[in-house]
Amino acid sequence: MATAVTFNHNPEVGLYWNLLKGLSASVKTELVNLLQGSLKTDKADNAARKQQKDYYEILDKFLTYSKYTEKWDGENAVPLTEKVKNNFSLLLNKIDKKLLAGMTIFPEINGTLLIDSTIKEAGICLGNDTFSYYITENDEVSGQDNIPFSVKKLIDTIKKINAEK
């Protein structure tokens, strides 16, 4: 038998509790507990939808930038190189989509791709055979240049950028 519980501390749940006045306290308790579980599930679903949205926004930008041609900036910019496009495609195929939350991409005028954090002052420059990254925290810049490209190393770097301090 469920134990009767009051939910005065939560206005949303209190509202539902009052709507269920004709039911026994144990039935109301079970229904409210189900509702709370449903609300948690909704929050998780919303987070998953946001991750999916972020992923598809990056994918859409990548497809757009992949079509850029010579002088796409009106000056002397070159399009993304085939190797850069391949490297980023490999990343997209292997990465857990939630790691791309808070990230965006931009083409660079030299044919490389900038993977930029919208949350922190941090970024990764993806080249043909190498990548570089920087993270600015507490007015200190750290990072590394010319890291030989591998999907695992790139994912580990994204994890490092996304890590909470």
What are the pLDDT digits (tens) for 106-159? 999 999 999 999 889 999 999 999 999 999 988 899 999 999 999 999 999 999
pLDDT band for 55, please (50, 70, 90 cuts).
confident
According to DSSP, the β-strands at 103-107 and 130-137 are unpaired
51, 62 Cβ separation under 8 angstroms: no
Q: Is 80 within the bounds of a domain?
A: yes
Burial code of 43-56, b = ≥16 C-beta within 10 A, e = fewer?
A: eeeeeeeebeebbe
- Domain tally for the chain? 1
Domain that holds residue 17: 11-162
Say if 5 falls within a structural domain.
no
